[in-house]
Amino acid sequence: MSVSSILEEKGSHVVTSGPHMLVSDACKVLHEHHIGALVIVDSDRRIQGIFTERDIVASIAEHGMVALAQPIESFMWTNVHRCKPTTGINTLMEMMNTLRARHLPVENDGHLVGIISIGDAVKHHVRAIECEAEYIRSYIAG
């Protein structure tokens, strides 16, 4: 199973923003869409950064409430870890664990094509294990 199979099921829509959105507006967008990360892109959907719930907490902890009036480019990660549609689920989960990343944008030919959350990865990994267990039960029952 690969990232592309996850995207086929969940869809490839990604909530994105430009770098000039205020932190307070980003909070509203994250809340309205029930998501934990915004991918920052340019007009060609090339990934420029990522801004997450963790970044909100860090910005307020470091700068106080004035951080809410700052643009997200002040706090976003610009060294964005990414995966490809061909990345396997085990590799994806290993990347997320090693990088301590809850969200990985999916990039193909330099353009954003989706995003995978740790919840997406776990859900599909569990489903694969359940299918394998069912296959083994069927085989044994014979």
Averaged pLDDT for residues 99-127: 92
Query: Please, what are the domains in the chain?
Result: 3-141 (3.10.580.10)
**Biggest CA pair distance of the chain:** 66
Percentage of the chain with pLDDT > 90?
Answer: 79
- 68 token code pair: 């809410």
Structure tokens at 13: 């829509």
Average pLDDT of the residues of the chain: 93
Query: What end-to-end distance do the CA atoms of the chain give, in Å?
Result: 26
Residue-wise pLDDT for 40-94, tens only, equals 999 899 999 999 999 999 999 999 999 999 999 999 999 999 999 999 988 999 9
